[in-house]
Amino acid sequence: MSWALTPLTEEQREIQRVAREFAEREIAPHSAQWDRDQYFEPALVRQLGDLGFLGMMIPEVYDGLGLDTLTYLVALEEIATVDASVAVMLSVHNSLPTQMILKWGSDKQKECFLKPMARGELLGAFALSEPEAGSDAAALRTQAVRDGNDWILNGTKAWVSSGTKGEVILAMARTDTPDDRRGARGISAFIVTPDLPGFSVGKKEDKMGLRASPTVQLHFSDMRVPGDRLLGQIGSGFIYAMQSLDNGRLGIAAQAVGIAEAALRAAAAYAAERKQFGKPIKEFQAIQFRLADMATRVASSRALLHAAATAKDRGERITQFSSMAKLQASEAAMWVTTQAIQIFGGYGYVTDYPVERLFRDAKVTELYEGTSEIQRIVIAREMYSHT
């Protein structure tokens, strides 16, 4: 049912096949249990690293595969179709910290962090949000103060995906002073590692969905960060984060398309086998129309996502396009998973079938890396920003 609306090259189809086979063989048998146990399988990071999937868009010179965005997203969708928790780990790592170091990192930072991240030896995480700075990300309060060549960081980051396992965390902190607040321009990006004195992992969230992906708070308490861990320019961290989220949102859109595709497939299969009133329920028009609408929303989400990815690969600004892709795909995923449960009836409401997990996993795609409301703000602002 997974139509390629954008014609894929032979290489793209091959990577899609590798992702699908890996997901079905190594992930699918465990997904339900990992979800129940809130278990993150560390061996997966190394296995995905061996396939090159932790360096998909990193050039070969930095030990990555050097693939384009569309190829990455096609593979990511395949993983998400099987397990959205594994997909978010891949999405964050490939879209945010690695791309930030690739774009703005020094040669030394690329050598020390980017290369091992591309090989899957170090897992990346991204720490922008704080308990009181979510949608209003520029209101973050974590403070960085210079001390000789080092920086001393104090504050709490929130909603950090892969937070308990993240080995290279791109953390945004204020480098302006209380007497000279500079808003978004007072924020810088730092490469933080868990071995720094003053770093600790705080509360692990007990989530509705994506339960196999650890989401935590991180505490920085007089955390001493060497000067060479500052990424790029002082005061540019918020801009870097926003530009990176343009990429990140494509990853979340691919995750949402994968979740919706899985729900569509499960519902279509169930409708063919479930009999009521003497015939398979797929023969009732009420079910056919529902499946048709689900398939249409999955296809249109995928088409928009692929169009945004190819625009990015052409070097175009994709701020509006990526927010559109995420908005469309995440709302479609929530709608499609809701319809899937309706087709399953009571069986959709219990854990014997995968659709209740897909429904729980879909919800977060409307929330993280910018809520649907934030995506609408970005889309609307972009309409006027170039006129």
366 is catalytic: no
Shortest Å distance, C-beta 138 to ligand COS? 4
C-beta of 208 vs 269, nearer to ligand COS? 208
C-beta of 122 vs 241, nearer to ligand COS? 241
Task: Please return the burial class of 366, using the count of CB atoms within 10 Å of its CB with bins 0-12, 13-18 and 19+.
Answer: buried
323 binds ligand COS (CB under 6 A): no
Shortest Å distance, C-beta 381 to ligand COS? 7
Which residues from 205-264 bind ligand COS, rule CB under 6 A? 238-239, 242-243, 245-246
Indicate the residue type of 171: A
318 binds ligand COS (CB under 6 A): no
Q: What are phi and psi of 285, to 5 degrees?
A: -65, -30
C-beta of 16 vs 213, nearer to ligand COS? 213
363 binds ligand COS (CB under 6 A): no
Q: Which of 216, 264, 333, 374 binds ligand COS (CB under 6 A)?
A: 374
84 binds ligand COS (CB under 6 A): no
Name the β-bridge partners of 145.
Answer: 152
378 binds ligand COS (CB under 6 A): yes
379 binds ligand COS (CB under 6 A): no
173 binds ligand COS (CB under 6 A): no
185 binds ligand COS (CB under 6 A): yes
368 binds ligand COS (CB under 6 A): yes
Indicate the residue type of 343: I
C-beta of 270 vs 368, nearer to ligand COS? 368
Which residues from 122-141 bind ligand COS, rule CB under 6 A? 128-129, 135-138
Which residues are known to be catalytic?
Answer: 369
Return residues touching ligand COS (CB under 6 A).
128-129, 135-138, 159, 184-185, 238-239, 242-243, 245-246, 319, 368-370, 374, 377-378
